[in-house]
Amino acid sequence: MVSRVIPVDNFDLVIFGGTGDLARRKIFPGLYRRFLAGQMNVDSRIIGAARAKYSDDEFRAFIEAALVEFVAKDRQDPAQIAAFLARLHYVAVDAKEEGGWELLKSTLRQNVVRAFYFSVAPSIFPDLAERLHSHGITDAWSRIVVEKPFGRDLASARALNEVLAKYFTEAQIYRIDHYLGKETVQNLMAVRFANILFEPIWKAQYIDHVQITVGETVSVNGRGAYYDKSGAMRDMVQNHLMQLLCLIAMEPPYHFDPDAVRDEKVKVIRALQPVPPQNIVRGQYLAGNGEGGYLEHCEDANSKTESYIAMKVEIANWRWKGTPFYLRTGKRLRARSSEIAIHFKEPPHSIFDGEKGWKENVLVIRLQPNEGMNLMVMIKEPGPGGMRLMQVPLDMTFADALGVEAEDVPDAYERLIMDVIRGNQTLFMRGDEVEAAWAWTDPIINGWESRGDKPQGYDPGSSGPEDALMLMHRDGRRWREIK
Ligand code: NAD
């Protein structure tokens, strides 16, 4: 099945940080794929803006090399690449200096969508916003796209919101959390709100608990000193895992509309309970498998920053009272695997006396690898051996079910950029949402910092520290295997 491609309006998209890692690996390859799919209007233009002194042609050559490296070989059509590169321009600007801004202004066209992607370090977001404004480059229709991290605590997030609000309305600000651009994450909303099947049982009465896992195999080697300032809680939980939790836990919005959806997410975040220390396990990966451990990679032998965190989170509202959400994420784990698992309760009464094989229904939503869903159900074991039960998966791997090739599923970034051009903010975080998330996160981090808690070591290639297993065992539950 070929997905429908609806072209977006003609645009001028400025990528600040156009020579950076994110631009090379994700943004430009993604835009090329949208061009190839016919979604990008052929008159649209992309303007790289960064400090390097490139000509248009030098920048095109730089991006061509990135496309060759990061776009699948069978999508590299020389004629299409040439046509895409012809849509690129470059202007050298420094966010902290005056030069280049008037040239940028004169490069942009009137009467097309104007978007500015801040793919630079957050410390210069305010400078960019201020200069765009003072040089009269933005108007009421312009949009800015802001990369993560959005602050490192409530105070810094609030300060950043205040600076941006001086120059832009909330409707112009697109705060990216690329998890929200993933196909399966959006499918979570479709599954919940486009089917009658799940919603009646989507509550504490029927759901025993929820597990959210984002496992990574990579270490922080090479960027350890940078990572050490954030850690798994700031880098993953406050944003990505929180977004997943919100989509599972929120009430049905009255309409699939940006503010209606985001209103419901904020309500979930506000209902999150403080997490006591006994419900948090933090870890640091040890040396092994031929690589150094976290403490070597972060270049601080006394670091107390976590490369792994597991926690039990409770939501104090009518729907979820009594159903814990267990979250975990970490580096150097057994597998690169992200999933949400909804574990249902047992039926109120078993008619199958003496049946030992009963297992709970589990709805597993896989974000990676093999995006898809799996519903574990009980059936009768085939054969004449009497009424024995067994658990089988009703498997729906999207690529299989829809006949979509992996390369045809838009990457999160490209989908989100197209939403910016369309002016649809549903999959972007609102300012109050980010602040609410930090307001919940801050006391948890302050707690372990003031106690001086040190993370527990865990073996690379494992599923995390021992204590994380205990967090579940204590409640008579088990983590799903990371595989
Ligand atoms: P990078 O260091 O590779 O690139 C930074 C870019 O900013 C370069 O193009 C540089 O020329 C430009 N720049 C630096 N100072 C400037 C200034 N004063 N004026 C104008 N331009 C300036 O960084 P990156 O990895 O591409 O990350 C960019 C942003 O995206 C950061 O906010 C980062 O947190 C976020 N991010 C990156 C990734 C990733 O995978 N790389 C993932 C998620 C979020």
- What pLDDT is attached to residue 187? 86
Residue 255 DSSP class: S
Residue 1 has pLDDT above 60, yes or no: no
Q: Among 21, 46, 117, name the best residue to mutate to test ligand 1's pocket (greatest count of ligand atoms within 8 A of Cβ).
A: 21
Q: Which residue has the higher pLDDT, 231 or 408?
A: 231
Long-range contacts at 444-448 (CB < 8 A, ≥ 24 apart): 444/233, 444/274, 444/275, 444/280, 445/153, 445/233, 445/234, 447/277, 448/277, 448/280, 448/282, 448/304
Percent of the chain's residues with pLDDT above 90: 83
Contacts of 148 (CB under 8 A, 6+ apart): 175, 176, 177, 239
Over residues 112-116, mean pLDDT: 96
227 CA distance to ligand 1 centroid (A)?
15
* pLDDT tens per residue, range 120-168: 999 999 999 999 999 999 988 899 999 999 999 999 999 999 999 999 9
Computed over every residue of the chain, the mean pLDDT equals: 94
- Strands 325-330, 308-313: pairing is antiparallel
Ligand 1, atom 37: closest residue by C-alpha: 22
Give me the DSSP letters along 305-359. Answer: --SEEEEEE-B-STTTTT--EEEEEESSBS--EEEEEEEEPPPSS-SSTT-----
Map tokens 């967090």 to a residue. Answer: 471
**What tokens does 429 get?**
């975080």
- Of the candidates 220, 211, 240, 241, the one whose C-alpha atom is nearest the C-alpha of residue 285 is 220
- What pLDDT is attached to residue 141? 85
- What pLDDT is attached to residue 389? 86
* pLDDT tens per residue, range 93-103: 999 999 899 99
- Atom nearest to 50 CA in ligand 1: 21
pLDDT-derived band of residue 6, with 50, 70 and 90 as boundaries? confident
Residue 402 has pLDDT above 70, yes or no: no
263 CA distance to ligand 1 centroid (A)?
30
* pLDDT tens per residue, range 432-465: 999 999 999 999 999 999 999 999 999 999 999 9
Residue 225 has pLDDT above 60, yes or no: yes
Is there a contact between 269 and 441 (Cβ–Cβ < 8 Å)?
A: no
119 lines ligand 1 (CB under 6 A): yes
Residues placed in the known binding site: 17-24, 51, 148, 178, 182, 216, 235, 331
Over residues 170-178, mean pLDDT: 96
148 lines ligand 1 (CB under 6 A): yes
Q: Which of the residues are catalytic?
A: 240
- What pLDDT is attached to residue 218? 96
Over residues 16-37, mean pLDDT: 96
Over residues 386-406, mean pLDDT: 77
Sheet of 389-397, strand order: 389-397, 372-380, 362-368, 337-344, 207-215, 325-330, 308-313, 280-285, 456-458
Over residues 259-276, mean pLDDT: 98
230 CA distance to ligand 1 centroid (A)?
17
What interhelical angle do 28-36 and 78-85 show, nearest 10?
120
Residue 286 has pLDDT above 90, yes or no: yes
* pLDDT tens per residue, range 187-219: 899 999 999 999 999 999 999 999 999 999 999
Ligand 1, atom 9: closest residue by C-alpha: 17
Percent of the chain's residues with pLDDT above 70: 96
**What tokens does 328 get?**
């975990």
Query: 277-286, 390-399, 434-443 — which is least confidently predicted?
Result: 390-399
Over residues 68-80, mean pLDDT: 95
- What pLDDT is attached to residue 405? 65
- Atom nearest to 24 CA in ligand 1: 26
For the four alpha carbons of 81, 85, 86 and 88, in that order, the dihedral sign comes to positive
What interhelical angle do 125-134 and 154-167 show, nearest 10?
10
Over residues 300-316, mean pLDDT: 97
Cα separation, 154 vs 431, whole angstroms: 11
Query: 283-292, 357-366, 389-398 — which is least confidently predicted?
Result: 389-398
Ligand 1, atom 23: closest residue by C-alpha: 20
181 lines ligand 1 (CB under 6 A): no
Burial 291-302 (b: 16+ CB within 10 A, else e): ebbbbebbeeee
Residue 186 has pLDDT above 90, yes or no: no
Over residues 260-286, mean pLDDT: 98
Residue 399 has pLDDT above 70, yes or no: no
* pLDDT tens per residue, range 343-385: 999 988 888 866 666 788 999 999 888 788 899 998 888 888 7
- Of the candidates 76, 130, 39, the one whose C-alpha atom is nearest the C-alpha of residue 407 is 76
Q: What is the pTM of this model?
A: 0.94
